[in-house]
Structure 1
Amino acid sequence: MPPVAVPAGSVERAWEFFRKIGSPKFHVAPMVDQSELAFRLLCRRHGATAAYTPMLHSRLSVDTPKYLEEHFTTCDIDRPLFAQFCANDPATLLRAAQLVQERCDAVDLNLGCPQRIARKGRYGAFLMDDLPLIERLVSALSTSLAVPVTCKIRIFPELQRTLEYARMLQAAGCSILAVHGRTRDQKRARDTRADWDAIKAVREAVDIPVLANGNVRTLADVHACMDYTGAVGVMSAEALLEDPALFAPSRLTPEGARRPTEGCELLLEYLELTATHSTPFRMIRGHAFSMLGDWLTEFTDLRDRMNDYGLDEARLKEIAEEMQQRINSLGRDHPVPKLSARQLARAEMEESKRAAVEGQQRESDALQEMETKRDVAVAAASC
């Protein structure tokens, strides 16, 4: 890739924007069906200083108003907020971004999703095969939106390609670059450690603010990552799902260490937020499994109740309260699993598969509805 010139003043504007939103260090990552408003607010209560929306499909956002109405919700205290879109068409992406630009601080382009559905839809990390298209997508936003454009990427196996990629994004108008230190093929975070050296190299290669993503399980990890890479902030996903208070300053003190019942307490607090901020139950249920975590391997009867078709928020609250009482009565701070490692792995795989199938089906249904409306409109116009 030939060198690209950085537009005059763009770097200064990027840093001005970063300072304007408070130079946030602790970011809630964009997660499909998991970084919704109620969860973002919970994380903000416990130390998060910025957050991303769930990934929004640009074409569905433009053509299906109900889709955007469900997936993009916010409120006055939900700031700074980055609205993330996946896209492969500059015009569609711009139209989608314009629908939300007055209710967020920046629009983020998803260039990091490595899942099969992203391959099928030709978005996320699979756009890495077409860098000129990525450049057009970023440029379309940076030259036409009222808010800055940011990007979240994965790295190439070759460091030099990653650095050229990052410089191109900066030149195209990206104001903040979040770097996940894994390649597109490294889908499972637990299988491969993120490459902090690559993140550090990107930070040294560009002049705009860089966020680091990967290998963060504790607040101590957050600070270690920032110190090592020089990134201005850290983005967390899976670890934050398990511990929404990950960014709480007290986590660095012995007194602030995670208590055995804290997952139950955080879930109950989250349910209070969902009572105020309407949240699809599939999202609530997913968060409940993450927050209650390993204790479900001991209290398998509660896990079974969480898999009941009749589960609702009231019953979920009862489960969290019952688990809290049981843990307090144990006199120990760790679960004793009743499930074997193989059984637990199988259960987690089935849960992950179920969530993936549901996600793909929702997107397929929405696309089908959109195409049906389009066919009806074309038929009506030809009459």
Structure 2
Amino acid sequence: MVDASELAWRMLSRAHKAELCYSPMFHSYVFVKDPKYQKEALASCPQDRPLIIQFCGNKADILVEAAKLAEPYCDAVDINLGCPQAIAKRGHYGAFLQDDWELLTEIVSTLSQKLNVPVTCKVRIFESIDHTIAYAKMLEKAGCKMLTVHGRTREQRGPLTGIASWKHIKAVRDNVSIPVLANGNIQCLADLERCLEETGCNGVMSAEGNLYNPFIFEGVNPPSWEPALEYLDLVEKFPCPTSYIRGHLFKLFQQLLGLPDNFKLREELGKGSTLKEFRTTVLKLKEKYIQFHNGAQVWNEEKEDFNLQFPPWLCRSYVRMTPEEYLKKMESFKASSGSGKEVTF
């Protein structure tokens, strides 16, 4: 995860039952050319294993050069074939390589032959299950030793993300002989267990779910300040850019910072630039809500229905509106504004 799975966050996740971690996605060309970028990317420690280092790129020779520099620090090298963002389209990498099977065969086979560690791939599905199976088998034949299958198409991103297809993932698992990890729809431990049962995969990857609740593999929804303070302690030991820290804290406190009563604290967190300032804001949030968490005060929240809900200080996955809801809301906005311009909510 770009700017999100740095060493401190990986160590936090490992402390709470993550058994395998990936580095952020690194651009192979920049990795080869920029020693500073390379040094920061390879930040690790003896406890940070097993570790897979992930690269994007579209030239086999550059990817090999980058991977050879990284292989002493990891247990496998992953080729990202799943990034659906506009920057990946402009750079012709990630999910925008999935139609060029000749190039992918060259990349995977070249890395497989020249590296001393396994080559793995993270992919997205095609709409057609049969085409997805053929894609997976092509990568396996080229030398891929493990597949992580994100059960969404390249177009399913942002407000159009929708539900991942475990049927596609199961079809891949049933038709290749290499290990397969499932990715998509993992918001809690029960999802993980159900996914393994339905897909037959060898493991489950959590990306976004982990960012909003790094205790996800323990089946625990802690008060947000617990992982936040533990993470800040790890950043003391394993420094990282301020932007990473701020991004993690905004996700951990997403529910609380969305309450009007906490807008000043949200602004404070946004302006924070030191570990001391971040810790101060976290402790203010803890002091404000710990009495509710401990039951010393009763939390009364207005509700429109009788569904049980997590209180806002507990970590929980981010749930987007459905694509159908988004499109309906966008059309309504266009009609009322007369702008005709697309708007993201």
Q: TM-score, normalised by structure 2?
A: 0.84
Determine the structure 2 residue equivalent to 1:322.
284
Determine the structure 2 residue equivalent to 1:28.
none
Offset from partner CA, 1:36-64 (integer Å, 9 cap, x none): 10000000000100000000100001111
Aligned 1:156-305 pairs, distance under 5 A: 156-188=126-158, 191-248=161-218, 251=219, 257-259=220-222, 262-298=223-259, 299-305=262-268
Residue 129 of structure 1 deviates from its aligned partner by 2.1
Aligned 1:77-88 pairs, distance under 5 A: 77-88=47-58
Aligned counterparts of 1:191 and 1:277: Cα–Cα separation in 2? 33
Q: Cα distance 1:190–1:287, how it changes in 2: closer, same or farther (>3 A)?
A: farther
Aligned residues: 299
- List gaps (5 residues or longer) in structure 1: 1-30, 252-256, 346-383
Q: Cα distance 1:189–1:38, how it changes in 2: closer, same or farther (>3 A)?
A: farther
Q: Is the CA contact (8 Å cut-off) linking 1:181 and 1:194 kept in structure 2?
A: yes
SS at 2:121 equivalent: strand
Aligned counterparts of 1:99 and 1:189: Cα–Cα separation in 2? 37
Offset from partner CA, 1:322-368 (integer Å, 9 cap, x none): 101111234336249xxxx99xx9xxxxxxxxxxxxxxxxxxxxxxx
Determine the structure 2 residue equivalent to 1:111.
81
Equivalent AA in structure 1 for residue 291 of structure 2: S
1:307 matched to 2:284? The reply is no
Q: Cα distance 1:204–1:138, how it changes in 2: closer, same or farther (>3 A)?
A: same
Residue 311 of structure 1 deviates from its aligned partner by 3.0
Residue 189 of structure 1 deviates from its aligned partner by 7.5
Aligned counterparts of 1:151 and 1:191: Cα–Cα separation in 2? 21
Equivalent AA in structure 2 for residue 110 of structure 1: N
Equivalent AA in structure 1 for residue 26 of structure 2: L
Q: Is the CA contact (8 Å cut-off) linking 1:297 and 1:335 kept in structure 2?
A: no
Aligned counterparts of 2:199 and 2:312: Cα–Cα separation in 1? 35
1:94 matched to 2:64? The reply is yes
Residue 161 of structure 1 deviates from its aligned partner by 1.1
Aligned counterparts of 1:41 and 1:221: Cα–Cα separation in 2? 23
Aligned counterparts of 1:53 and 1:79: Cα–Cα separation in 2? 11
Q: Percent identity?
A: 45
SS at 1:54 equivalent: strand
Stretches (4+) displaced over 6 A: none
Determine the structure 2 residue equivalent to 1:66.
36
Q: Is the CA contact (8 Å cut-off) linking 2:148 and 2:181 kept in structure 1?
A: yes
Q: Is the CA contact (8 Å cut-off) linking 2:42 and 2:73 kept in structure 1?
A: no
Residue 190 of structure 1 deviates from its aligned partner by 7.2
Offset from partner CA, 1:191-243 (integer Å, 9 cap, x none): 41000000000000101000000000001100100110000100011110010
Aligned 1:322-341 pairs, distance under 5 A: 322-330=284-292, 331=297, 332=299, 334-335=311-312
Which range moved further: 239-248 or 320-329?
A: 320-329
Determine the structure 2 residue equivalent to 1:7.
none
Aligned counterparts of 1:107 and 1:45: Cα–Cα separation in 2? 23
Aligned counterparts of 2:312 and 2:53: Cα–Cα separation in 1? 38
Q: Is the CA contact (8 Å cut-off) linking 2:246 and 2:270 kept in structure 1?
A: no
Higher percent of residues as helix: 1
Q: Cα distance 1:189–1:34, how it changes in 2: closer, same or farther (>3 A)?
A: farther
Which range moved further: 81-90 or 323-332?
A: 323-332
Aligned counterparts of 1:65 and 1:197: Cα–Cα separation in 2? 43
Residue 180 of structure 1 deviates from its aligned partner by 0.2
Equivalent AA in structure 2 for residue 294 of structure 1: Q
Q: CA RMSD in A?
A: 1.8
Aligned counterparts of 1:302 and 1:89: Cα–Cα separation in 2? 46
Aligned counterparts of 1:104 and 1:63: Cα–Cα separation in 2? 20
- List gaps (5 residues or longer) in structure 2: 300-309, 314-319, 327-345
Q: TM-score, normalised by structure 1?
A: 0.76
SS at 2:224 equivalent: helix
Of 96, 100, 105, the residue aligned with 1:135 is 105
Offset from partner CA, 1:66-87 (integer Å, 9 cap, x none): 1111223111000100000001
Equivalent AA in structure 2 for residue 311 of structure 1: S
SS at 1:55 equivalent: strand
